Chain A
Amino acid sequence: MTDKIDKVIELDHVVIRFSGDSGDGMQLTGTLFSDTSALMGSGISTFPDYPAEIRAPQGTVGGVSGFQVHFGHDINTPGDYADVLVAMNPAALKATSKWVKQGGSIIVDRDSFTTKNLIKAGYKTDDPIKEDCLDRFNVILAPISSMTQETLKDTGMDNKTILRSKNMFALGMCYYLFNRELTFTEKFFESKFKKVPAVIEANKLVLKAGYNYGYNVQELTPYKVAAEEIKSGVYRNINGNTATAWGLTAAAEKANLSLFCGSYPITPATDILHELAKLKNLGVKTFQAEDEIGGITSAIGASFAGNFAVTTTSGPGLALKSEAIGLAVITELPLVIVNVQRGGPSTGLPTKTEQSDLMQALYGRNGESPVAVVAASTPSNCFHYAFKASQIALEHMTPVVLLTDGFLANGTQPWRIPNMEDYPDIQAPIAKEGTKDYLPYQRNKDNFVREWAIPGTPGLEHRIGGLEKMDKTGTVSYVPENHQVMTDLREEKIAHIVADIPDLEVIGEDGGDLLVVGWGGTYGHILTAVHDLQKEGKSISMVHFNYIKPLPANTKDIFKKFKKIVVAELNNGQFVNYLRLSLPEFTYLQYNKVMGLPFTSIELMDNFNNILEEK
């Protein structure tokens, strides 16, 4: 039978999108494909795309759930367009066929193309391929449902249960197509369903049947995908929310403090609370409050009482927390506020990604109320930046907003597990028992940081609160000059954090025609676009900001070496306007998108090319 494999397509990297009804198990199918590929040495980036409703109407475009896997060599994003689309029903085809690359393949479950399903999906004819002009793709009409039924007909299972395995048939086809091993997935079945051996067997049979089907039909040309050149080490897959939760936990360990998380469930941030709630084995206290305000205020109470306190939320929740953040600003207590950004305003697009809370993070409070703002830029570096945000909060006695987004939160990638011995100890300025004449607002001369006297420490009893504080003593003061002094000190304290943050690094030449500026979760897409243009010989470089406030010290020196600067972000220009305020001597171009979607590298390349060509 080897004569069948007479041709192979060789590719550096491949994007597969699994798409189906929200009950079809597409998230699991995609995760299993991604895990297997990672274990086989591919670089990986994934992104789930699911409706906000738990069960949107079955068979409709609104109920389509997708999972995209990008694997191979030099993987920075989950990919723009799919090489292979697996569509389990007409609605999935309708919703996602526009995301298939020119010349790509579409595998559809032929059995799902009933008149009823076609109508539900919004097709007007009984030939969706023709109707949507899909014949420019390599469309494979596979009898996925009926082959699954055929495979399991002798198991005695009912039809509904049998059809639940059809996603494994599709997965099996993909394993054939990309020459993946079945063993990792088989092992997953064995541990997941260990109490129901019949289900293990059924899933294995269907997976194998899908694999064999791929082998037996002539329509599929297998791919050979390049492996990643991977640094040696121990790896795991991780998503942004888990990485954030673990980074906060790591900071607590390095600060030798208990971690307290006061929070309230909100999409897409809730998984951070889920992860932290599991970590009672490391002494983590999670307080699921009655509302967003209770979440942050319980955390502020915990911070006052000497824990390392955090609160987690998304945009609408950050709005509710504004007043309390101001309290943490004036009382100068350490606190990390994680904001997993989503589409807004209001409830907006809860499951979609956006970067439109930057101004809210920087300025969304009453009064002059400065906080530090840090942003993670890949799913796995959420760990590092959660750690750094925590370190800044604890060492500089300030609230810090850590910005991630829905794209980072749910995206996964392999992560080379760091060794905690390589992370520094965090030194919170805790006032020691026996401190003579402790004054709550006496400051360290170098960085303007006050000392943290923890209740229970004899002799350091003191009062703090939301009324303006007298310099040094911290008593209530309405003295006009003192308010000016304290306002300036609070701003200066944040500015001094710059000494503890690394310089920006330029990706590419140190000077040239165009500098692309990004921040946060757009890193992978911008990097891919810039790399590709650099390969074409264009004079283009990139900087990506993880530290927003304060800005890295060398920002200005970098900017001045480029003829043009373009700031690309998923909002209407919040970072670019912040840069215009902070470094007004430069002229900034901007590229913005507010669709609830990540950038595509292709659109970025087009835009950067246009800028490069304009004289």
Chain B
Amino acid sequence: MSTDIKLTFKDFKSDQEVRWCAGCGDHAILNSVQKAMAAMNIPKEKFAVIAGIGCSSRFPYYMNTYGFHTIHGRGAAIASGVKTANPDLSVWVINGDGDGLAIGGNHFIHLNRRNIDLNLLLFNNEIYGLTKGQYSPTTKEGTKTKTSPYGTIEHPFNPGELVLGAEGKYFARSIDVNMKLTQEILLNAQNHKGTSIVEILQNCVIFSNGVHSFYTDKETKLDRQLILHHGEKMIFGKNKDKGIVLDGLKLKVVTIGENGVSEDDILTHDAHEESPFLHWMLIHMKGPDFPIALGVIREVKASTYEQKMEDQIAEVKANSSIKNVNDLLHSGSTWTV
């Protein structure tokens, strides 16, 4: 790739009118993605943006890159084919929580298992928006929606835990309105070789407005968000005086300066640790007892599917006497008449 590519976010805007609702969190995410891509030093033609079906999945139409708006749930599977066929591309998958985790749940877990080098943005608004307000696999139990007028009786899952359960190597979390954090994560995800899952807590102004407001309210957000950076202490709070410690086999929120707790006692974030257990606990944290963990939570190096595919092909080619189809047709047992 060229080392000096001057692109701005405007180069990534397509000529199509953006049709999301006013106030939809997707607008902020689109801006974050366009800005981040401009900063990646990758030629524009090397980007392929793939989506399934849902509000968020209109995304490719708004990007002036190669793009493919596919069918419901299959974005990850189609992108797996794109990257395996053409490893030179920077491949981005746009998924909603319904698209990626319900109808596309099977592809989602197998993508993580294979560790194909692509980036999947999971817009999580805990609702089906495009079909107008049905509960999704991430909707909190008891939530009233059009298909659960008396409250859901299903337990949701947490996307990050699904990633870990599927042997995933990379998981980050951001919030639609925090464009700075989102861009920082996207750049990091691009540099990570392997499947990078980025969950973005996204607000649907129509069907689940305020679903993440416990964490995003301006007044209280600093006390309810823990922004993680590899190698840094897990400290948060308005006064930067709260931290996370390990108490036996559980995490605990402590206040620095109280009960003899000093900064040294606070856990240091190690995103590169292969063992998923501390990452699991961080992903699992939720209010009111805990802040929500944001940033790159897990980033573990591992070989990628498409690289192993290329390596295996090179090795088998080098050791085979069959160089073309004519050789193949004459291989094995033949006879001449």
Interface pair A246/B86, CB less than 8 Å apart: no
List, in ascending order, chain A residues with CB within 8 A of B53's CB. 466
Task: Give the shortest distance, in Å, between A430 (CB) and chain B (any CB).
Answer: 13
Closest 3 CB pairs of A and B: A301-B81, A465-B69, A298-B81
Given contacts A458-B45, A463-B69, contact A281 B337 (CB under 8 A): no
Say whether A462 faces chain B, with CB atoms less than 8 Å apart: yes
Task: Give the shortest distance, in Å, between B44 (CB) and chain A (any CB).
Answer: 6
User: Which of A79-87, A115-123, A202-210, A226-234 forms contacts with chain B?
Assistant: A226-234
Count of inter-chain pairs, beta carbons less than 8 A: 201
List, in ascending order, chain A residues with CB within 8 A of B77's CB. 289-290, 293-294, 297-298, 301
Interface pair A298/B88, CB less than 8 Å apart: no
In the complex, A2→B325 CA distance in Å?
49
Given contacts A280-B317, A455-B48, A460-B45, contact A293 B84 (CB under 8 A): no
Q: Mark A12-50, 1 if CB is under 8 A from B, else 0.
A: 000000000000000000000001001101000000000
Closest to A466 in B: B71
Interface pair A465/B61, CB less than 8 Å apart: yes
Say whether B21 faces chain A, with CB atoms less than 8 Å apart: no
In the complex, A280→B83 CA distance in Å?
17
Task: Give the shortest distance, in Å, between B286 (CB) and chain A (any CB).
Answer: 30
Interface pair A461/B313, CB less than 8 Å apart: no
Interface pair A236/B79, CB less than 8 Å apart: no
Closest to A243 in B: B329
Interface pair A417/B330, CB less than 8 Å apart: yes
Interface pair A280/B85, CB less than 8 Å apart: no
Say whether A426 faces chain B, with CB atoms less than 8 Å apart: no
List, in ascending order, chain A residues with CB within 8 A of B220's CB. none
Say whether B162 faces chain A, with CB atoms less than 8 Å apart: no
Interface pair B106/A290, CB less than 8 Å apart: yes
List, in ascending order, chain B residues with CB within 8 A of A290's CB. 77, 106-107, 109-110
List, in ascending order, chain B residues with CB within 8 A of A287's CB. 80-81, 84
List, in ascending order, chain B residues with CB within 8 A of A151's CB. none
Instruction: Tally chain B residues at the interface, Cβ within 8 Å.
Output: 57
Interface pair A232/B337, CB less than 8 Å apart: yes
List, in ascending order, chain B residues with CB within 8 A of A326's CB. 71
In the complex, A545→B77 CA distance in Å?
35
List, in ascending order, chain B residues with CB within 8 A of A253's CB. 324-325
Given contacts A39-B335, A287-B80, contact A282 B325 (CB under 8 A): yes
List, in ascending order, chain A residues with CB within 8 A of B325's CB. 246, 249-250, 253, 282, 420
List, in ascending order, chain B residues with CB within 8 A of A476's CB. 16, 61
Task: Please report which residues of chain B, range 317-337, place their CB below 8 angstroms from some CB of chain A when the two chains form the complex.
Answer: 317, 320, 322-326, 328-330, 332-337
Interface pair A249/B328, CB less than 8 Å apart: yes
- Apart from A234-B336, A246-B329, list 15 A-B contacts with CB within 8 A: A232-B336, A233-B337, A234-B335, A246-B328, A258-B85, A287-B81, A298-B84, A301-B77, A302-B81, A305-B89, A307-B86, A420-B329, A461-B44, A463-B69, A465-B60
Residues on B facing A (Cβ under 8 Å): 14, 16, 43-46, 48, 50, 53, 60-61, 63-71, 74, 77-86, 88-89, 106-107, 109-110, 309, 312-313, 316-317, 320, 322-326, 328-330, 332-337
In the complex, A232→B336 CA distance in Å?
7
Task: Give the shortest distance, in Å, between B76 (CB) and chain A (any CB).
Answer: 9
Say whether A279 faces chain B, with CB atoms less than 8 Å apart: yes
Interface pair B81/A466, CB less than 8 Å apart: no
Task: Give the shortest distance, in Å, between B12 (CB) and chain A (any CB).
Answer: 10
Residues on A facing B (Cβ under 8 Å): 35, 38-39, 41, 230-237, 246, 249-250, 253, 258, 260, 262, 279-283, 285, 287, 289-291, 293-294, 297-307, 309, 323-324, 326-327, 331, 417-420, 454-467, 475-476
Task: Give the shortest distance, in Å, between A252 (CB) and chain B (any CB).
Answer: 9
Interface pair A298/B335, CB less than 8 Å apart: no
Task: Give the shortest distance, in Å, between B115 (CB) and chain A (any CB).
Answer: 14
Interface pair B85/A38, CB less than 8 Å apart: no
What are 6 A-to-B residue pairs whose CB atoms are below 8 Å? A279-B328, A290-B77, A302-B82, A324-B71, A458-B45, A463-B67
Interface pair B60/A463, CB less than 8 Å apart: yes
Interface pair B66/A298, CB less than 8 Å apart: no
Closest to B43 in A: A458
In the complex, A262→B82 CA distance in Å?
11
List, in ascending order, chain A residues with CB within 8 A of B322's CB. 281-282
- Pick the most buried of A233, A281, A461: most chain B CB atoms within 10 A of its CB: A281
Interface pair B329/A461, CB less than 8 Å apart: no
